[in-house]
Chains A and B, each alone.
Chain A
Amino acid sequence: MANPFQVLLAALAEAECQFLLIGVAGVNYYATAGSVLFVTRDRDLFLPSGPENLLRIWRVCEHQRLELTLAGEPLDMPRDSWLAQRVVERRALTHARDGRGLEVDLTLVMSGFEFDAVWSERRVFIADGVEIPVARLDHIVQSKASAGRPKDRLFLATHKEALRNLLSRDEGTNEGGGSP
């Protein structure tokens, strides 16, 4: 397993961290063909609002030699429960990167949703033997609609068209006597 994201997720799971893949990278896990994959470097992990979980995740990231930043500055030291509590209170986003292309946002916010509701309906996929807990596609899409930033609007318009094309093609195949 050489993919650094999968290595990170495997380590997070081993440390019993709780997280969900959301955002465009999460949407990609529901793709059934390359034509509905969206190119993104960012991986968004949605975390519950518990400082101990956040602290465990920071420690795993450090162990994986990822650089941790908050608002563009290196995450403060010492990285302890006190700091994790302050970050959780402010719902601040921590960013982890390896400098070689892996970019992970550790977010405590998913617009329009609470963690437990999304967690309870997550879907687990497997990639290279690693379990990837992913938010449900409709939750991700509705969250993007709720946030409504320009990049979300662009994504929604493109995703809508890509899904329609994909499903229309499948319908055409099925009408022609293909398997359901």
Chain B
Amino acid sequence: MDPETKRALEAIDRVCETPIETGPVELDAEYLRDVARVVFLPENRPRTDKTWVELADEEWFAHYRAARRK
């Protein structure tokens, strides 16, 4: 195994061994303010047309479905 691959695998092992934190998260005030601002942006008024959201999602998946290994 080449040294670069070995280092990468060791890094993955270290991440896998790191305990994953779970449990409720306290959201900070700045994030909550940002969320509130986004809710009331003109682009998010009730009944805004958001067709582009689903189209973007579809395009993303279509792009990666078409990906082929070289």
A positions within 8 Å CB-CB of B: 3, 5-6, 28-32, 34, 37, 39-41, 101, 123-128, 132, 136-138, 141-142, 144-150, 152-153, 156, 160, 163-164, 166-167
> How many contacting A-B pairs (Cβ < 8 A)?
98
Contacts of B20 in A (CB 8 A): 150
Main secondary structure of the interface of B (DSSP, over half): helix
> Is B22 a contact of A164 with CB atoms below 8 Å?
no
CB of B53 to closest CB in A, whole Å: 5
Given contacts A41-B61, A127-B49, A153-B21, 12 further A-B contacts (CB under 8 A): A30-B44, A34-B56, A123-B46, A125-B49, A126-B51, A127-B51, A138-B35, A148-B25, A149-B22, A156-B31, A163-B34, A164-B30
> Is A3 a contact of B34 with CB atoms below 8 Å?
no
Which parts of B39-63 form the interface with A (CB within 8 Å)? Answer: 39, 41, 43-44, 46-51, 53-54, 56-58, 60-61
Contacts of A145 in B (CB 8 A): 24-27
Contacts of B31 in A (CB 8 A): 141, 156, 160, 163-164
CB of A129 to closest CB in B, whole Å: 8
Bound-state CA distance A138–B44 (Å) is: 13
Contacts of B22 in A (CB 8 A): 148-150, 153
